[in-house]
Amino acid sequence: MQQQIVLNNGGSFPALGFGTCAIGAWQQDNEYVVDTILKAIKAGYRHIDTASLYGNERSVGKAIKASGIPRKEFFVVSKVWDCDQGYEETLKAFDASLKRLDMDYIDLFLIHWPNPNKTQSTWQAMESLHQQGKVRYLGLSNFRQADIEQLMSFAKVKPIYNQLELHPYLTQEDLCAVCDKYEIYVSCWSPLGSGTWSGVPTSEKPIADPVVINMAEKYGVSSGQVILKWDLQQGRIAIPKAESEKNIKANLELNSFELSTEEIKEINQLNRDHRYGGDPDTAYEGNMKMRVPE
């Protein structure tokens, strides 16, 4: 049985999700993407994370349909992109995502990056979608402390989670504490440091850190499995991406070992405040130049 996140209303979803950003290549949306997601579903993933900007919502929808598994067994996450924030814009963007996914509802809809000038109108649109039953849960991505506090001052429907770049070299402990204060789960994108798309050599990623490697050798598992276990044992959600059948399966196989409190602290101490992805303080201008494909 996969570890579950249990919400206040009694709902639950798997703590380990399958990340779909840049499967094959950036904004690739074809049979290769469908087949990769089908491999993940066959391995046991039911929590699938996508976004309008990833350009592969159609592939996600096709894979879920092709699996033959009832839609209600999946927890599907998508996101509204920066260019589509605002009340009417968000409603329109959501309808486009739903159409591409070929679904009746989305389980969790996120604001992809914070834009404080539009957060209230965007969130109100999302609350309307929630009220209509088109979205089961609402959430955030890349929100900083000030962004969270702003949203919590007017939100009628509370966010269930905040998806952050989080890995052993960027532990974001202060921000995690803010999320805990507001009972917002922390979800980790790029939990292993960054994908092959980033061009970062494996030797510079946390999976190559001697501390992590030593623990992996001790437990007879991979470095990636150690890092995912580090997340799950702290009550976080992790969204690893993988394309090979071997790695897809390995990321799910975390029940054979348990990290000690000391080992979790050891990994926490690897923090370098190092980002592989965008910084919410500076990402806005560049993000506004990126467009959601039709």
Model confidence pLDDT, tens digit, residues 235-271: 999 999 999 999 999 999 999 999 999 999 999 999 9
Sheet harboring 106-111: ordered strands across?
A: 18-19, 47-49, 75-80, 106-111, 135-141, 161-165, 185-189, 237-239
**What domain range is 82 assigned to?**
4-287
153 part of a folded domain: yes
Please provide residue 283's backbone torsions phi and psi, each rounded to the nearest 5 degrees. Answer: -75, -20
Average pLDDT over the chain, rounded to whole?
95
Question: Looking at the predicted structure, is the pLDDT value of residue 9 above 90?
Answer: no
Q: What is the residue type of 80?
A: V
Return the pLDDT at 281. 95
Joined together, the tokens standing for residue 85 give 């924030």
Chain segment 114-133, per-residue pLDDT in tens: 999 999 999 999 999 999 99
Chain segment 130-166, per-residue pLDDT in tens: 999 999 999 999 999 999 999 999 999 999 999 999 9
Q: Which residues are annotated as a binding site for substrate?
A: 112
Question: Looking at the predicted structure, is the pLDDT value of residue 294 above 90?
Answer: no
CATH number at residue 150: 3.20.20.100
294 part of a folded domain: no
Please provide residue 268's backbone torsions phi and psi, each rounded to the nearest 5 degrees. Answer: -55, -35
245 part of a folded domain: yes
Give the 3-state secondary structure percentages of the chain, helix then strand then coil, rounded to 5: 45, 15, 40
182 is catalytic: no
Q: Which residues are annotated as a binding site?
A: 112
pLDDT average, residue stretch 193-206 = 76
Return the pLDDT at 197. 56
Catalytic residue among 54, 137, 161, 185: 54
200 part of a folded domain: yes
293 part of a folded domain: no
Per the structure, the count of domains in the chain is 1
85 part of a folded domain: yes
Which residues sit opposite 271 in a β-bridge? Answer: none
From the list 186, 77, 59, 62, the residue with the least C-alpha distance to 135 is 77
Pairing of strands 106-111, 135-141: parallel
pLDDT average, residue stretch 22-33 = 95
225 part of a folded domain: yes
57 part of a folded domain: yes
